[in-house]
Amino acid sequence: MDLARALGVTFLWGLNFSLIKVCLTWFDPFTLSGIRFLLCALPLIFFVPRPDVSPIWVVAYGLCFGIGTWGLVNWGVQSGSAPGVSSIVLQTSALFSAVFGIVLFAERPTPGKMIGLLVAAIGLGILSRLQDGSVTAEGVALVIAGAFFMGVANSLVKAAAPRRHLSFLAWSSLISPLPLFALGYLQFGGVPLVPVAEAKTLAIVCAYLLISSYLATLYSYYVWNRLIHRYELSQVAPLSLVVPVFGITISHFVFAEPFGGDKLLACVLVMLGLLIAGLLDRYLDRYAACQGQS
């Protein structure tokens, strides 16, 4: 049952990238992110207690996750990073998290992390130079920046160590909407609204926003955090590599996102780098332990 929940979460996260592309038809990237996190905060903050950490951590996480990650990812999708590619590139946040762990938390720079970082960097370099019309260097760069800020957000969670994860997520979501709306106005010159008269269009947009906010964000992160508490992190974390599989598949069927040889190679390298970073050190440690016993 827990495995089914985990796969359901990865499906929702993969689906979310296509939802972003659809919603960008009506909203600018920052406004879209602002609406998403406003829905995450309201009305939930009236039903959950305040986070059990300092407000500084809540504010910092809200800004990094809402603006730094999803504001930039949305902008990257609008600027030409296809949903499938974006779902892969954003997973490099795991590598940024590893780097921050080394710099900020004195974690050791293991061979797996360094080799994985190099392999994924080669894949990202290939993605940024593709000429098939489905990605642009600007779009990929913005999603990479979003992955960087997700690494920062992960480091903030590690440092803050909240016990009330749902409260932390809900209250931090309240921080980013107003700055995001302001950025949308300054960067794109206004907030486009869906015509109320177009009832069908309005219903579609509302459905997308509700799925993105309540299912792909609140529900998914709540389930994911519970799984992390119940099982070893090494058992749960590799499941995030399933997200790009759903992201690529959905984008291919919905938007006919092309996947030629160069893009496939780049995606394989990025995912291989993430896999190496997550698993190689564990196997090297087991090998060393076996050698020591013999």
Considering only CA atoms, which of 246, 238, 234 is closest in space to residue 285?
234
Please give the pLDDT value at position 115. 85
Question: Could you give the CA distance from residue 126 to residue 24 in angstroms, rounded to a whole number?
Answer: 26
Q: Which tokens in the block code for residue 264?
A: 């496939």
Exposure string of 48-62, with b = 16+ CB inside 10 Å and e = fewer, is eeebebeeebbebbb
Which pLDDT value is given to residue 277? 75
Q: Strands (DSSP E) along the chain, which ranges?
A: none
Q: What are phi and psi of 196, to 5 degrees?
A: -65, -30
Predicted local distance difference test score (pLDDT) of residue 227 = 78
* Cβ neighbours for 88, distance < 8 A, ≥ 6 positions apart: 127, 244, 247, 248, 267, 270, 271
pLDDT at 194: 54
Q: What pLDDT shows up at residue 78?
A: 93
Is residue 51 a contact partner of residue 58, using CB atoms and an 8 Å limit? Answer: yes
Domain range for 153: 2-293
7-11: list long-range contacts, CB under 8 Å, 24+ apart.
Answer: 7/239, 7/242, 8/223, 9/219, 9/220, 9/223, 9/224, 10/239, 10/240, 10/242, 10/243, 10/245, 10/246, 11/246
What pLDDT does residue 231 have?
67
Q: What backbone phi and psi angles, to 5 degrees, belong to 195?
A: -60, 125
Query: What's the pTM value of the predicted model, to 2 decimals?
Result: 0.83
CB of 250 closer than 8 Å to CB of 83: yes
276, with CB counted inside 10 A (0-12, 13-18, 19+), is buried
**Residue-level pLDDT at 17:** 92
> For the chain, which residues score pLDDT lower than 70?
128, 131-133, 190-200, 228-229, 231-238, 278, 281, 284-285, 287-294
As for how many domains the chain has, the answer is 1
